[in-house]
Each structure stands twice: as structure tokens, then as C-alpha cells.
């Protein structure tokens, strides 16, 4: 076999699931409410022969994103999903042996890129009850002086946040330590607080977002980074020939031109979350407050979480279960849909949960 880089031999990657069609997809935090028929007809009309045979033109999308987030196009780097934006940060700034600080648990690709680029990992662990001390974050900045700290806010898979005031303090301290803060706002709009306005005063801040969650374009693979213009110039140096594909570009433009559809979906998801929380309260089943479009439900044990995942799979419902992290071992994670989708889930969940209790 042709030799590979030594540090990649032990890099573990999870295979993406297949054959999810026909299931209620509550496992990957997609926007499962979807778009109406009129919008989908508009999307289909965009796909002409010229559209297929022409390389993507991203200029108009940069303009639309700039208007949406209130910055200039030179502060934006469009990428194939926000994970590509995150990778570009590692490509530009991380040398072998640099220290990268991560919350734990957090978005898996942070760990993948830390190992891929041969960085030293420092973890800031959540405590029981999904408690994370901002003081612990600041302590790591002072003591470890990492080159980069990655903070997803809201965080996945926990659904927790660091309040804006605490984050501002972290960014300021990081700046004094010459630490880059990569703030991942993948769940923006589910949680409407953003710190994008700080990019002008804090050159060490890079904010990433995705169109996969609230914007409903998971299949398009589109995201972006926003930062000080000097930082963006370096991130653009490592981009491929074209930032992304023409489908992603045009569909994102259409969504940004029709934000009322996104707002309608957000309202449906808020109602679905309220209904799910009310049902769980009525059953006396504990769950964690979430600022994203999913909820962690404490089902009592790791074994029960796996059994529930298997039972619901047989009912054509996909959830996330079997977490290895100590603070999540007893949990299943459920993506939030509209009320009808949540009612369907709860009907199957209650039956499976009570069956496991009776057989315990």
C-alpha cells in the first residue's frame, strides 16, 4: 500500500448514514419542516440547460449575505458548508504542534481538523447537568495560550450557550493572548443572538454560519465565514477554484430573497418544541433546555438510549442515541419539527419508553 501521512492513520471518521428516505429524520438537526410547493416550483424552474453547463457565479450571493448580516462582501468567505469554512481556518492558521482548545463535547469536525492538522488538543469539559463555566474557558486561555479556540454557540450536541456578555469577555481575553476565536453560529436564528458585529474591532474573531439548519438547505452544502477583511483575504487563499456549486448559490439566493418562508418554519419549530416540552413535562421525563432545533432527553441509562434508538428505528423514526460522552450517556437527541411531526414522534416514543420500563 502507498504510505500515508502517519498522523492520519489513527484519524477515525464516522460513515454517513444511508437510506434515510422514508424515515422521520430526527437525527441530524436538519430543518425537517421544509418548503411549500410554490417555492419548490420556483426552484425547479431555475434549473435550465445553461444553468447546468455554466460555472457558478458567486458575486450576487456575496452581496445578499452581506446585506443579510450587515457587513461588506470583503468580510465574507463563502464555502461548501460551514465545515469547509472551519477547515479553511485550520489550513491558514494552524501549524503542527499548535494548541487548539475545544469545548467537550462539541461539533465533531473540530476534533477531526485538530488531529488532521497535527495540533495539540486541550478540552474544556462540560460538567454534570451540562454546566460549562466561562471561568474555565478563560483559565485555559491564560494557562494554555492556544493558537485557536473553537466555540459553537449554541453548541452541538448539548444545545447550550455561553451568554453574549461572557462570550465578549472570552473574545477580549483571547485577543490579548493572540488566540483566534472561531465562533460557530450554525444554529443562528433558532438562537437569534450573534456577535458578528465584533469582527471589526476584534481581528482575532472569525464567525461561521451554515445554510443547512434554519435556512433548510442541508443538501446544498453551503456556509460562510465572516471576519476582519485581512483575515478573509487569507482564508480565500486556500479556497478551491470555485467556493461551491451553482445549485447551492442559486438556492441560497432564493431563500435569502424569501426570508418569510424561513420565519414561517422557525415559528413551526418553536411550536413543535413547546409541544414536546409540554409532553415530556407531563410524563415526568427530564430533558435539557436547548437553544437550538433539538432537545436532549434523559432516558435514564446508556442502554435504554440505545434500545429506544433501535425501537424507534423500527417505527421509521431516526434519532441520535448511544452517546459516548459521560455527560450525555443517558440521553437521546431529538430534532424538532412541527407539531404534527412531534405528535407522531411522541406517540411512538411513549409506547417504546413504557414498553422498556415494563420489561426492565
Residues 158 and 219 in one domain: yes
Q: Looking at residue 91, what is its pLDDT?
A: 98
Residues 338 and 199 in one domain: no
Residues 168 and 316 in one domain: no
Residues 186 and 302 in one domain: no
Residues 219 and 75 in one domain: yes
Q: Is residue 41 part of a domain?
A: no
- For helices 229-237 and 82-93, give the axis angle rounded to 10 degrees: 90
Mean pLDDT, residues 130-139: 96
Report residue 19's pLDDT band, with 50, 70 and 90 as the boundaries: confident
Q: Looking at residue 125, what is its pLDDT?
A: 97
What tens digit of pLDDT does each residue of 192-225 get?
Answer: 999 999 999 999 999 999 999 999 999 999 999 9
Report residue 360's pLDDT band, with 50, 70 and 90 as the boundaries: low
Q: Is residue 252 part of a domain?
A: yes
What tens digit of pLDDT does each residue of 308-338 get?
Answer: 999 999 999 999 999 999 999 999 999 999 9
The rounded distance, in Å, linking the Cα atoms of 53 and 307 is 48
The rounded distance, in Å, linking the Cα atoms of 62 and 76 is 7
Residues 222 and 235 in one domain: yes
Mean per-residue pLDDT of the chain: 96
Residues 87 and 191 in one domain: yes
Residues 81 and 215 in one domain: yes
Residues 274 and 314 in one domain: yes
CB 182 within 8 A of CB 259: no
- For helices 108-116 and 82-93, give the axis angle rounded to 10 degrees: 30
Strand, helix or coil for residue 125? strand
For the domain that residue 283 is a member of, what is the CATH number?
A: 3.90.1150.10
Q: Is residue 131 part of a domain?
A: yes
CB 244 within 8 A of CB 56: yes
Q: Looking at residue 157, what is its pLDDT?
A: 97
pTM as predicted: 0.96
Phi, psi for 199 (deg, rounded to 5): -65, -25
Residues 26 and 62 in one domain: no
More confident site: 136 or 3: 136
For the domain that residue 59 is a member of, what is the CATH number?
A: 3.40.640.10
* Percent of the chain residues past pLDDT 90, beyond the cut: 92
Q: Looking at residue 130, what is its pLDDT?
A: 96
The rounded distance, in Å, linking the Cα atoms of 232 and 59 is 15
User: Considering 257, 285, 301, which residue would you say is the last residue of a domain?
Assistant: 257
Residues 58 and 130 in one domain: yes
Q: Is residue 228 part of a domain?
A: yes
User: Considering 239, 257, 275, which residue would you say is the last residue of a domain?
Assistant: 257
Whether residue 1 is predicted with pLDDT greater than 90 in this model: the reply is no
Q: Is residue 40 part of a domain?
A: no
Whether residue 152 is predicted with pLDDT greater than 70 in this model: the reply is yes
Q: What is the domain range of residue 349?
A: 6-30+260-359
> Is 118 buried (19+), middle (13-18) or exposed (0-12) by CB count in 10 A?
middle
Report residue 358's pLDDT band, with 50, 70 and 90 as the boundaries: confident
Residues 110 and 189 in one domain: yes
Angle value at C-alpha 37, between 33 and 41, nearest 5 degrees: 130
Whether residue 104 is predicted with pLDDT greater than 80 in this model: the reply is yes
For residue 224, the cross-strand partners are: 78, 209
Q: Is residue 285 part of a domain?
A: yes
Q: Residue 112, Cβ neighbours under 10 Å: how many?
A: 18
Q: Is residue 115 part of a domain?
A: yes
Mean pLDDT, residues 23-37: 96
Q: How many domains does the chain have?
A: 2
Supply the DSSP symbol for 241: S
Q: Looking at residue 12, what is its pLDDT?
A: 83
Q: Is residue 223 part of a domain?
A: yes
Q: Looking at residue 272, what is its pLDDT?
A: 98
Mean pLDDT, residues 91-108: 98
User: Considering 200, 222, 257, which residue would you say is the last residue of a domain?
Assistant: 257
CB 334 within 8 A of CB 297: yes
What tens digit of pLDDT does each residue of 238-282 get?
Answer: 999 999 999 999 999 999 999 999 999 999 999 999 999 999 999
Amino acid at each position: 500500500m502507498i504510505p500515508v501521512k502517519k498522523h492520519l492513520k489513527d484519524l477515525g471518521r464516522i460513515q454517513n448514514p444511508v437510506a434515510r428516505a422514508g424515515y422521520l429524520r430526527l437525527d441530524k438537526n436538519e430543518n425537517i419542516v421544509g418548503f411549500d410547493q410554490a417555492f419548490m416550483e420556483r426552484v425547479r424552474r431555475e434549473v435550465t440547460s445553461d444553468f447546468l453547463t455554466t460555472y457558478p457565479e458567486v458575486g450576487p450571493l456575496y452581496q445578499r449575505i452581506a446585506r443579510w448580516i450587515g457587513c461588506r462582501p470583503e468580510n465574507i468567505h463563502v464555502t461548501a458548508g460551514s465545515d469547509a469554512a472551519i477547515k479553511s481556518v485550520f489550513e491558514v492558521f494552524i501549524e503542527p504542534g499548535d494548541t487548539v482548545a475545544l469545548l467537550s463535547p462539541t461539533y465533531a469536525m473540530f476534533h477531526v481538523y485538530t488531529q488532521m492538522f497535527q495540533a495539540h488538543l486541550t478540552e474544556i469539559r462540560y460538567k454534570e447537568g451540562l454546566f460549562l463555566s466561562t471561568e474555565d474557558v478563560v483559565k485555559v486561555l491564560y494557562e494554555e495560550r492556544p493558537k485557536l479556540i473553537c466555540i459553537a454557540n449554541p453548541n452541538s450536541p448539548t444545545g447550550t450557550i455561553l451568554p453574549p456578555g461572557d462570550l465578549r469577555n472570552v473574545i477580549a481575553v483571547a485577543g490579548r493572548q493572540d488566540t483566534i476565536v472561531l465562533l460557530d453560529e450554525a444554529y443562528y436564528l433558532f438562537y437569534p443572538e450573534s456577535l458578528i458585529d465584533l469582527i471589526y474591532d476584534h481581528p482575532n474573531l472569525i464567525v461561521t454560519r451554515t445554510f443547512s439548519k434554519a435556512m433548510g438547505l442541508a443538501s446544498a452544502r453551503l456556509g460562510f465565514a465572516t471576519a476582519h477583511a485581512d483575515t478573509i483575504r487569507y482564508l480565500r487563499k486556500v479556497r478551491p477554484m470555485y467556493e461551491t456549486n451553482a445549485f447551492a448559490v442559486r438556492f441560497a439566493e432564493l431563500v435569502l430573497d424569501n426570508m418569510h418562508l424561513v420565519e414561517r418554519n422557525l415559528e413551526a419549530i418553536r411550536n413543535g418544541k413547546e409541544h414536546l416540552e409540554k409532553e415530556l413535562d407531563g410524563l415526568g421525563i427530564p430533558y435539557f433546555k436547548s437553544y437550538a432545533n433539538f432537545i436532549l432527553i434523559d432516558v435514564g441509562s446508556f442502554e435504554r438510549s440505545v434500545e429506544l434508538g433501535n425501537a424507534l428505528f423500527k417505527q421509521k423514526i431516526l434519532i441520535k442515541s448511544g452517546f459516548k460522552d459521560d455527560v450525555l450517556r443517558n440521553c437521546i437527541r431529538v430534532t424538532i419539527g412541527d407539531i404534527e411531526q412531534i405528535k407522531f414522534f411522541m406517540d411512538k416514543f411513549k409506547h417504546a419508553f413504557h414498553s422498556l420500563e415494563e420489561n426492565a
